[in-house]
Amino acid sequence: MTTNKSPEPGTNADADARSQWPLWEVFIRSQHGLSHRHVGSLHAPDAQLAMLNARDVYTRRNEGLSIWVVRAADIVASAPADKGPMFDPANTKVYRHPSFYEMPEEASGL
Amino acid sequence: MSESAALAEFALRMGDSALILGHRLSEWTGHAPVLEEELASANVALDLLGQAQLWLSLAGELEGRGRSADDLAYLREPSAYRNLLLAEQLNGDFGHTLVRQFLFDAWNHLLLDALCAHPHARVAEIAEKASKEVRYHLERSSDWVVRLGDGTDESHRRVGAALEILWPYTGELFVLSASCPAATIVIDARWRELVDMVLQRATLDMPNDEWAQSGGIDGRHTEHLGKLLAEMQSLQRAYPGASW
């Protein structure tokens, strides 16, 4: 196995070949949706092709009315390792939920 | 030829061209350079297949011999096919396929826009539906011609060579559009203008018009069509009337 044209999946050569086209994250607002939702990702050399590719890969079944594409590298994400300090403290703050108000009779329709 | 027979012939030429080009594009499935472009090729192929079905249904009805779109697609010999020679040419590399697509899309776009005002209601209806799809096809194929032409030395060389090889097949486009009955469709000049604009951005020269190939829309094809049909029709030939 010396002459393998395409890089073996999972190897560094494969990762290099893929890294030539940056990764983009795709967000689509559906027919009845109010906000854009993350639907997946794709590779594209620039914003214009990322948009065309998003249309071809993710809206084939009439899923969307609007598309956003964002370079994955431009997304700032919280680190999984920081999960504890980031989110655990909110667990014990039940008083932040609006569940301790007594609703007046007149507002029963709310 | 009566006007209805002439319109049937025109619809057959349009339907066959869309069917054969769509089949060519579908050959990329499983082989395209990247997943995104494979899906894009398949999407365009499916659009063309849908257009072929509309044109061939109309051709069958006007012909009045009870042949459906499927009958026309699967049960005719190469010499009964009326597609453009450009549509049956081999895919070559990715750039070659996109150059072929671009030359066709630019023509199809201008023709369908003109056909939206055709006096025959069905023709106008088909054109209306197809023109939206083709506007997108043209956007994608012209974008790629510019990228590859104005890309690396290698990509520039390859699409330049494809353009030279495919150019002689473009003359036939306008014989087909001019054969539309009940409408005068002259789109040669606007096509040249559109193609020239894209080629300039792609840093490619428009080839000289020399010998123009013709014959496809009259049933005289290159050797490639027979092989394509042998594959496309094999299931229907082996299991006549098969459905699933």
Q: For A59-91, how does the pLDDT look when each residue is reduced to its tens digit (9 = 90+)?
A: 988 888 999 999 999 999 999 888 888 888 888
Spatial contact of B81 and B15, defined as CB atoms under 8 Å apart: no
Residues (pLDDT < 50) of chain A are: 1-4
Q: What is the pLDDT of residue A63?
A: 82
Average pLDDT, chain A: 82
Radius of gyration of chain B (CA): 17
A interface with B, Cβ–Cβ below 8 Å: 21, 42-45, 48-49, 52-53, 55-57, 60
Note the pLDDT of residue B54: 97
Residue B80 burial (CB < 10 Å; 0-12/13-18/19+)?
exposed
Instruction: Determine the Cα–Cα distance for residues A110 and A66; give it in Å rounded to an integer.
Output: 33
Q: Stretch B146-154: mean pLDDT, rounded?
A: 96
Cβ–Cβ below 8 Å for A53 and B36: yes
Span B114-123, pLDDT tens digits: 999 999 999 9
Q: Does B238 touch chain A (CB under 8 A)?
A: no
Q: CB–CB of A53 and B143 under 8 A? A: no
Sequence spans of domains, chain A: 12-107
Q: What are the residue boundaries of the structural domains of chain B, listed by start?
A: 3-206+220-238
Cβ within 8 Å, pair B40-A49: no
CATH superfamily of B3-206+220-238: Ferritin, core subunit, four-helix bundle (1.20.1260.10)
Provide the pLDDT confidence category of residue B219 given band limits of 50, 70 and 90: very high
How far apart are the C-alpha atoms of A77 and A86, rounded to whole Å? Answer: 12
Q: Does any CB of chain A come closer than 8 Å to the CB of residue B43?
A: yes
Output the pLDDT for position A32: 82
Q: Give pLDDT, residue B29.
A: 93
**For residues B217 and B240, what is the distance between their CA atoms, to the nearest angstrom?**
27
Model-level pTM?
0.85
CATH class of A12-107: alpha beta
